[in-house]
Chains A and B, each alone.
Chain A
């Protein structure tokens, strides 16, 4: 990846000769080069330690009389998305599939024939857990999907940033998710664990309706790319654009308006501080709706919204 513009900019930024001279002069003006102490540690006046200790014990004893030890709160947790609590009664909208949230990568061999294809729909997964005595939370996605992690997540085998595009299908399978065409690929995971305090709503994205195919590809990559899928069928390039994929993958023609919970669900397992665990299942579904543009444009567009609901 060329970075000439950035490099040229910083080549232009230099210290003045006078500034360098002043810095060098200051070195020689320092009298003692061997000892140049930073802040001295503040010392504690030891005379007051016994008085402080006695006072502290007294305060603790007094406190125990005034505020008797209360029992620890019971282990518990709820699953939330933003301000909403995901429950077993209502559908909670957690995200919207947008047209630009596709991840598509095609890898080519030496003869410019595509040899693997990965594609998926990406949606934010702003789900966190809240409760008492929680140590960590594990999310596991079931169905044709995986998580792409964008944060410092403890417990995951490791995020790998690959600068060079994976050239083999094996590598492409491991690093299929191309984030915003930056040349970086995050490792897909079916499951990740995060410390309770480290949770945040932007930690992960959910990649749904993934297509990983190592079938034979028969044509050069262009806008009319054609490839043979592993089941022997052929798909043409125009079928890979956003609208077609939507309806090819999860609609029955125009009849899809209902919420479908059967394909995707996430096991949310909380490990409490005492080592016990509890799991709640978050079912995911899609709803096709019409929405008005929010950017000042007139008219409405078809939106696919991700909903979440707890299993009973």
Chain B
């Protein structure tokens, strides 16, 4: 069943299902559309490794998140990569982008950004995020608290993070 071609088919299915998630995580970390797309491609290729839980629906998503974050982390170590394009010109979007919120999110520490995303967008609990990031729940909790505090103080009156 797990022959080469079926693995590729399964990998394709996973990429199509999680491409946006991988791209969002990568974009937040590398702050550049082209580089985020490169990371999407790199992550896709890792699905062909022996370690990839291709047929494990419960674990594939957290695995992809970890791999994406690792790729982003390695990405930053390459000195020649630079973010030169303005953020709002970086993205293809279907509706007007909330550039104010995006700009403020991008000012946060990357751990804060990633925790916010996993908590508020992907719906993971603090414990689940801690397992994904291999951190203690208390660490994740404090990151979330600080991220929300910073973000809340950044957002001007009239535009609430919570509404």
Contacts and interface: CB of A to CB of B under 8 A. Distances in A.
Interface of A: 1-16, 19-20, 22-24, 26-28, 30, 32-38, 150-153, 158-159, 161, 179-180, 182, 184
Contacts of B43: 23
Contact of A13 (B23, B37, B120): B23
A152 B40 contact: no
Given A7-B121, A10-B121, A152-B136, A2 B20 contact: no
28 contacts: A2-B162, A3-B120, A5-B98, A5-B163, A6-B121, A12-B97, A12-B98, A13-B24, A14-B20, A14-B23, A15-B19, A16-B37, A24-B12, A24-B15, A26-B44, A27-B11, A27-B48, A32-B4, A33-B5, A35-B50, A36-B45, A36-B46, A38-B49, A150-B145, A151-B142, A159-B138, A182-B145, A182-B148
B45 A26 contact: yes
Contacts of B145: 150, 161, 179, 182, 184
Minimum-distance CB pairs A-B, first 6: A15-B23, A23-B44, A19-B37, A33-B4, A12-B93, A159-B138
Interface string B128-140: 0000000011110
Interface residues of B, number: 58
Given A152-B136, A182-B145, A24 B44 contact: yes
B102 interface: yes
A28 B145 CA distance: 43
A22 B16 CA distance: 11
Best-buried of A9, A13, A153, A179 by chain B (most CB within 10 Å): A13
B47 to A, nearest CB: 7
A30 B45 contact: yes
Nearest to B126: A161
Given A13-B23, A38-B49, A23 B40 contact: yes
B51 to A, nearest CB: 9
Interface string B103-144: 001000000000011001100001000000000111101101
A interface, over-half SS: loop
Nearest to A161: B141
B149 interface: yes
A5 B101 contact: yes
B interface, over-half SS: helix
A16 B24 CA distance: 11
Interface of B: 4-5, 7-8, 11-12, 15-16, 19-20, 22-24, 27, 36-37, 40-41, 43-50, 91-98, 101-102, 105, 116-117, 120-121, 126, 136-139, 141-142, 144-145, 148-149, 152, 159-163
Given A2-B162, A12-B94, A182-B148, A23 B41 contact: yes
Contacts of B152: 180, 182
Given A2-B163, A7-B121, A8-B98, A152 B138 contact: yes
Contacts of A30: 8, 45, 48
Nearest to B141: A161
Given A6-B120, A13-B93, A24-B15, 10 more contacts: A9-B97, A14-B94, A15-B20, A15-B22, A33-B11, A33-B48, A34-B50, A35-B50, A36-B49, A158-B138
Given A15-B20, A26-B45, A33 B8 contact: yes
B16 to A, nearest CB: 6
A5 B159 contact: yes
Contact of B48 (A1, A14, A36, A152): A36
Contacts of B162: 1-3, 5
B4 to A, nearest CB: 4
Contacts of B121: 6-7, 10
Given A7-B121, A28-B8, A159-B141, A12 B95 contact: yes
B24 A152 contact: no
B98 A27 contact: no
A86 B153 CA distance: 34
